[in-house]
Amino acid sequence: MKKYHCLPACLFLFFTFFIAYSNSEAALSEADQACLGCHSMEQHKTLGNGEKLSLKINPVEIEHSVHGIIGCSACHGFTANDHPKRTFKSRKEYSALAARRCTTCHAPRDNIIHAKIVGKDPSKTTCIDCHGAHSIRRVSELSKGNQYCLTCHKWEISKRYLDGSKETVQVQESHLKESVHKNLSCVDCHVRVYSELHPVREFKNRRDLSLVLAENCKRCHFDKYTRTLDGMHFKAASEGNTKAPICTDCHGTHAIASAQKDKLANSKKCEQCHSDIYAIYAKSVHGTALIKEHIEDVPICSDCHKAHDNAGPHTTNFRITVPQICAGCHGQKEIMDKYGLSTKVVDTYLQDFHGVTMKFYKQYGQAEKKIAVCIDCHGVHDIMKMKSQNAALIKQNLTKRCQKCHAGATTNFPDSWISHYEPNFQKATLVFLIDWGYRIFIPFMIIGLLVQIVLHLWRYAVNR
Amino acid sequence: MMKTKGLEKVRRFGTLRIAEHWLNAGTFILLVITGLSQKYHDYQLSQWLIMTLGGIDTTRIIHRYSGIALAVLTINHILVASYGVIFLKWQPSMVIHLKDFRDAIDNIRYYLGLSDHPARCDRFDYKQKFEYWGVVVGGMLMIATGAMLWFPTLVTRFLPGQFIPIAKAMHTNEALLAFLVIAIWHIYNAIFSPEVIPIDTVIFTGKISRERMMHEHPLEYERIFGPIQPSHELQGEIDNTAEQPTATTIS
């Protein structure tokens, strides 16, 4: 008995499908059946331009179509009994003519993309190009979410701007899937567009469109936006420079990626505009490590210049924060140990003449006064390795840099900076010995004097 | 003029020497304030001082010009002293003798109770000589190294670059030493020592009482007034400035 348990279920399924099939078959009217009498067969019509137009209709397509119930003549305008004989120049001409019928029921709404697409040149883009002909379905059934937008935007379609330029509005689905925004939908960013209404908006050019669209980023990333207000890019933009970078210039649009993940890709964003500086950086100790050795500990543009609130390196305050910027990495033992670098570089600078001066200038708001900071000796984008380099060359370069402030400095002059080492016996022997000499002599002397004072007081007390 | 018994005065310093002392003191104080605040720039007090003086640049300018003042005072002193000793036959009373070392040992023995009388010193005792030479030699060292630090570009045209950090090491350490010696030793001897408290007036009036002189500079006293007798009565004011070694009693 167990063997036949599934039999009723099988029978039920069989009948359900049978009834469904026979019912749909029955949904087609007699008039339509008459049409299909011929048009369900394989046959062609040769058009004026030699194109072959298939006349075969798949009845299933009609049955599943939203228009299944209105019948062939509703769109084609004639029945099997009064079928005119017609000739057409091309397939396009035929579909344009056939599509005119759509507007008798579906008047295109104003200011939506349909009106623009269909209204401008009906012979070029027709309703059926997107919606299909016999297989026509409800738009909402076609797709949901981003797929809905992609029904059009996955194609190689383009938009013409007011200045005459034509740019693609195609969206790569793969980009959306890789993006950090993959869980958002198109309309989250394209705010004035939604499924029911796709307004036609006119822009001077693509840049204009980007400028408007990038405004929408701050709807979520307002913190970043407020930071950009302090940045020089924002300043340039507010002065009317349309080339000044906006969110999407650095972060991308549909392929928007996390800026923190890939430092190299991140730095390349700056290269788009600052290629000359990038070329110098690429040759520096930091640049080569990043580009050739893929070391991510090194600073990229935004590490020093900041990303959103980059106020520009020519501001008075920037110079004075340089030691702090460099110390961000060079003062961290766990990073420096990896590359055999000393973290004393920061302290030795801060305790020396330049460092002390810089500290006071900073503390008392005298940022406009200039004193050597890291970059004045080491360079800016062209920072080089100090170790394993030709010592004579280093000295030669250093002399030139010293001369910028110390007019008339000779080749002896750079030696007056005992580099970033605390004086030791090997390097700066005399300085080391003098320091130690005093370190012993001063307490010796002072303790001696204090002992005498105490003895003197004691003698005085005893004598009384 | 005080005429109390035993408190008659002997002139010890002329007006010029007193002025010299106070000019030196003023310069020294300025140098200490502006210099040590740079040496100990991490301390709040230093930062407050530098800020109050108008920032690091102003502080350095004050320090450098005070340095010039110290240089002028020191060089002037050396020239005057040399001229006086060579041409005017002043007593070279600041010259260090072997006796000064013996005096120091004797005095310590006395403090410890190993001897029943302190060292018998001349016009300047060993403590004063120590301070004097500290100021002169230390001052010259500070002036030389200070000038090197002021003009590193010029100095390194003739000397190796390392002379600059060497000069800095000497300048900064010597400064601390000088400050500590003055702040502890000199201030004790001039203010807090039970023999002078509340303050040693000699450097204001230029005069020392004969009694004090008898105690502190017995050799000088005897040279002028003859052997000390316990009941000796003192009268009048004595002028015994260094410039006039032949002591003359006035009124």
Would you kindly state where each structural domain of chain B is located, as residue ranges?
A: 9-250
- CA–CA gap between residue A57 and residue A63 (Å, rounded): 11
- CA–CA gap between residue A428 and residue A418 (Å, rounded): 7
- CA–CA gap between residue A309 and residue A230 (Å, rounded): 5
User: Angle B29-B31-B36 (CA atoms, 0-180°, nearest 5)?
Assistant: 100
Q: What is the pLDDT of residues A386-414, one digit of tens each?
A: 776 677 788 888 899 999 999 989 988 98
> Is the minimum CB–CB distance between A440 and chain B shorter than 8 Å?
no
Q: Determine the longest span between alpha carbons in chain B, in angstroms.
A: 68
- CA–CA gap between residue A33 and residue A31 (Å, rounded): 5
Q: Is the pTM of this model over 0.90?
A: no
Instruction: Enter the tokens of residue A170.
Output: 């195609």
Least CB–CB distance from A434: residue in B153, B173, B188: B173
- CA–CA gap between residue A21 and residue A273 (Å, rounded): 64
* Residue that wins the pLDDT comparison between A6 and A103: A103
- The predicted pLDDT at position B74 comes to 95
* Residue that wins the pLDDT comparison between A135 and A441: A441
Which residue of chain B comes nearest to A403, CA vs CA?
B153
Confidence of residue A422 (pLDDT cuts 50, 70, 90): confident
| Cα–Cα distances in angstroms (integers) from residue A19 to residues A15, A28, A372, in the given order | 6, 15, 91
DSSP structure class, residue A383: -
Q: What is the CA radius of gyration of chain B?
A: 21
Q: What is the pLDDT of residues B18-34, one digit of tens each?
A: 999 999 999 999 999 99
CB A10 within 8 A of CB A16: no
Q: What are phi and psi of A166, to 5 degrees?
A: -125, 125
> Is the minimum CB–CB distance between A391 and chain B shorter than 8 Å?
no
What are the residues whose beta carbons fall under 8 Å from the beta carbon of B140, sequence distance 6 or more? B74
* Residue that wins the pLDDT comparison between A79 and B174: B174
Of the ranges A78-82, B189-193, B201-205, which one carries the lowest mean pLDDT score? A78-82
Length reported for chain B: 251
Q: What is the pLDDT of residues B107-146, one digit of tens each?
A: 899 988 898 888 888 889 898 999 999 999 999 999 999 9
Q: How far is CA A157 from the centre of its chain?
A: 23
Confidence of residue B233 (pLDDT cuts 50, 70, 90): very low
Of the ranges A182-191, A439-448, B81-90, B187-196, which one carries the lowest mean pLDDT score? A182-191
Q: With a cut of 80, say whether residue A245 has pLDDT above it.
A: yes
Domain ranges of chain A: 25-142, 143-257, 429-464
End-to-end alpha-carbon separation of chain A, Å? 130
β-pair type (A158-160, A166-168): antiparallel
Closest CA to A195 of A238, A240, A259, A152: A152
Average of pLDDT values for B225-247? 55
Distance from CA of B233 to the nearest CA of A (A): 24
Share of chain A above pLDDT 70, in %: 87
Contact B160/A431, CB-based, under 8 Å? no
Which residue of chain B comes nearest to A408, CA vs CA?
B153
- CA–CA gap between residue A377 and residue A348 (Å, rounded): 14
CB B226 within 8 A of CB B213: no
β-pair type (B237-239, B9-11): parallel
Least CB–CB distance from A363: residue in B47, B180, B181: B47
Chain B residues close to A431, C-beta within 8 Å: 162, 165-166, 168-169
Instruction: Enter the tokens of residue A92.
Output: 């396009």
Share of chain B above pLDDT 90, in %: 59
Q: Which superfamily does B9-250 belong to?
A: Transmembrane di-heme cytochromes, Chain C (1.20.950.20)
Identity (one letter) of the amino acid at B239?
D
- CA–CA gap between residue A141 and residue A226 (Å, rounded): 42
Contact A407/B163, CB-based, under 8 Å? no
